[in-house]
């Protein structure tokens, strides 16, 4: 089926969409339950117990948070990526008398994502680790709420093919892509021009360094980079937002989600984060989706589509905001955005290499091994040292990802 907006049938004609009926309780698997998106998803679900139940929760190694969530939501399955964490969680759940089945490892993540009893999969694992379970959910024909950027960045063609072949439904959860989805035509087409769309305008907050000079950015600290002015996010995504790599990855995502070329995707800095993105039509109309910067809005939209659900988000007060500002991104101060466009234009495995190098660079910055402006330097060096190939399989992507990480770590040895 692919993206719902690309299907003329819309809601109600396929099992994955019929399951969204108000009369049917949906079983939800949340991949990355202890992260920001996972917790906000649970917040929305808790507001609608008549519509949703938690079937599976997964996390990396946060035992305490997972235990608390299991006690509150009593899932059928709990999956920890780390085996030691799974063993400890199982012991704690037994003490509390819960029958939740505890599994561990990547295969277990894929197993719960594709489980026959699961209707909806929230794919919110940060980084490359989210690729395999998202692919499993696609092949199993699930309704996938995609909050993991890396799945499309690393293997966009493979993932979209799996969505189509598996009969899955894909709903983007990133606030920008969710906004575009909401104002995009519903007609099926492989060509934006055929449905009257001229271009997509991705808005960006500009992060904490929107007005910083290049010299000031050279001295940025970890605490400063983690202090996002508008959004509450995990550390990796927050650093990506500060470097504008987050927006670069979203450009690549938009390419796959909406069949848009790089030339049809523009980024506009909008510091208020009220307009989440826009679509410009061939007649000159520009449609925008607005709202307070709260991820529960796109999460609720994905969970309830085509219905609108209460999300707990307060009403937007435009009079209080008073003004909306826009500016062009500075690619000199934010070279990560330029690198993402370069990778998209290069195609093939270039975006996967970009993503892998960025993950290592962000880890190094958070560990105080490199400076903030070393992040794009490392990425550019890894891209320059790599050969790009056509993407043919997930196994190939895994190897390319590993090779790029090795190259990035070699760079660290001589520059950290």
DSSP characters over 154-199: HHHHHHHHHHHHHT-EEEE-SHHHHHHHHHS--S--S-GGGGTEEE
Segment 327-334 shows an average pLDDT of: 95
Q: Quick one: which of 299, 381, 350 has its CA closest to 121?
A: 299
Q: Quick one: which of 140, 155, 151, 203 has its CA closest to 175?
A: 203
| Other Cβ atoms within 10 Å of 218 Cβ, number | 12
| Other Cβ atoms within 10 Å of 382 Cβ, number | 25
Segment 298-315 shows an average pLDDT of: 96
Collapsed DSSP state (helix, strand, coil) of residue 14: coil
Determine the pLDDT at residue 17.
41
What's the mean per-residue pLDDT of the chain? 92
Out of 167-181, 232-246, 270-284, pick the least confident: 232-246
How many whole angstroms separate alpha carbon 296 and alpha carbon 43?
8
DSSP string, 65-118: HHHHHHHHH--SEEEESSHHHHHHHHHHHHHTT--PEEEESHHHHHHHHT-TT-
Segment 65-80 shows an average pLDDT of: 98
Segment 140-157 shows an average pLDDT of: 95
End-to-end, the C-alpha distance of the chain in Å comes to 47
How many whole angstroms separate alpha carbon 139 and alpha carbon 168?
7
Determine the pLDDT at residue 231.
67
What is the pTM for the complete model shown?
A: 0.91
371: pLDDT strictly greater than 60: yes
CA distances from 42 to 39, 48, 61, 72, 294 (A): 5, 10, 19, 10, 14
Q: What are phi and psi of 90, to 5 degrees?
A: -60, -40
How many whole angstroms separate alpha carbon 200 and alpha carbon 6?
16
- Planar angle of CA 375, 377, 378, nearest 5 degrees: 70
Segment 173-179 shows an average pLDDT of: 96
| Other Cβ atoms within 10 Å of 95 Cβ, number | 9
Determine the pLDDT at residue 5.
44
Q: Please, which residues have CB within 8 angstroms of residue 100's CB and are 6 or more apart in sequence?
A: 70, 74, 75, 76, 77, 78, 93
Confidence band of 126 (pLDDT split at 50, 70, 90): confident
Determine the pLDDT at residue 2.
54
Out of 124-128, 144-148, 347-351, pick the least confident: 124-128
pLDDT tens, 12-53?
A: 323 344 445 567 899 999 999 999 999 999 999 999 999 999
8: pLDDT strictly greater than 50: no
Segment 351-366 shows an average pLDDT of: 96
Q: What are phi and psi of 96, to 5 degrees?
A: -85, 0
Q: Please, which residues have CB within 8 angstroms of residue 351's CB and are 6 or more apart in sequence?
A: 153, 154, 156, 252, 340, 343, 344
Determine the pLDDT at residue 191.
86
Determine the pLDDT at residue 213.
93
Determine the pLDDT at residue 124.
95
Q: How many residues does the chain have?
A: 416
11: pLDDT strictly greater than 60: no
Determine the pLDDT at residue 225.
92
Contact 408, 378 (CB under 8 A): yes
pLDDT above 90 as % of the chain: 86
Segment 288-296 shows an average pLDDT of: 96
- Planar angle of CA 134, 139, 141, nearest 5 degrees: 95
248: pLDDT strictly greater than 90: yes
Confidence band of 321 (pLDDT split at 50, 70, 90): very high
Confidence band of 228 (pLDDT split at 50, 70, 90): confident
CB-based burial, 235-254: b 16+ in 10 Å, e otherwise: bbbbbbbbbbbbbbbbbbbb
356: pLDDT strictly greater than 60: yes
pLDDT tens, 113-122?
A: 999 999 999 9
Contact 67, 153 (CB under 8 A): no
Segment 327-353 shows an average pLDDT of: 97
Segment 209-233 shows an average pLDDT of: 86
Confidence band of 70 (pLDDT split at 50, 70, 90): very high
72: pLDDT strictly greater than 80: yes
CA distances from 9 to 106, 189, 233, 327 (A): 34, 13, 35, 39
7: pLDDT strictly greater than 50: no
């Amino acid at each position: 089926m692919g993206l719902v907006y690309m299907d003329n049938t819309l809601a109600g004609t396929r099992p994955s969409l019929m399951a969204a009926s108000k009369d049917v309780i949906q079983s939800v698997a949340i991949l990355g339950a202890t992260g920001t998106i996972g917790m906000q998803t649970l917040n929305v679900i808790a507001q609608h117990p008549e519509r949703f139940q938690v079937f599976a929760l997964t996390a990396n190694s946060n035992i305490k948070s997972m235990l608390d969530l299991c006690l509150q939501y009593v899932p059928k399955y709990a999956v920890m990526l780390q085996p030691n964490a799974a063993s400890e969680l199982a012991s704690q759940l037994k003490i509390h008398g819960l029958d939740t089945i505890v599994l561990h490892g990547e295969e277990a993540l894929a197993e719960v994502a594709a489980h026959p009893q699961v209707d909806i999969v929230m794919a919110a694992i940060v980084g490359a680790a989210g690729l395999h379970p998202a692919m499993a959910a696609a092949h199993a024909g699930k309704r996938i709420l995609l909050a993991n950027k890396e799945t499309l960045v690393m293997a966009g063609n493979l993932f979209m093919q799996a969505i189509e072949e598996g009969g899955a439904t894909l709903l983007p959860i990133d606030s920008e892509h969710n906004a575009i989805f909401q104002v995009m035509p519903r007609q099926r087409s492989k060509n934006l021009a055929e449905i009257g769309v001229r271009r997509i305008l991705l808005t960006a907050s500009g992060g904490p360094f929107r007005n910083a000079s290049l010299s000031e950015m050279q001295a940025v600290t970890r605490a400063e980079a983690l202090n996002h002015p508008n959004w509450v996010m995990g550390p990796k995504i927050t650093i990506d937002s500060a470097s504008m790599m987050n927006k670069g990855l979203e450009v690549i995502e938009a390419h796959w989600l909406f069949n848009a070329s790089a030339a049809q995707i523009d980024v506009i800095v909008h510091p208020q984060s009220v307009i989440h993105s826009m679509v410009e039509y061939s007649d000159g109309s520009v449609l925008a989706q607005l709202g307070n910067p709260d991820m529960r809005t796109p999460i609720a939209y994905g969970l309830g589509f085509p219905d609108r659900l209460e999300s707990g988000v307060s009403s937007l007060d435009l009079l209080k905001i008073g003004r909306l500002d826009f500016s062009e991104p500075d690619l000199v101060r934010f070279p990560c955005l330029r690198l993402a466009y370069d990778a998209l234009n290069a195609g093939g495995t270039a975006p996967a290499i970009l993503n892998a190098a960025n993950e290592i660079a962000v880890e190094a910055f958070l560990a105080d091994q490199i400076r903030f402006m070393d992040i794009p330097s490392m990425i550019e060096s890894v891209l320059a040292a790599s050969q790009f190939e056509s993407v043919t399989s997930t196994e190939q992507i895994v190897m390319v990802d590993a090779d790029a990480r090795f190259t990035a770590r070699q760079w660290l040895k001589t520059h950290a």
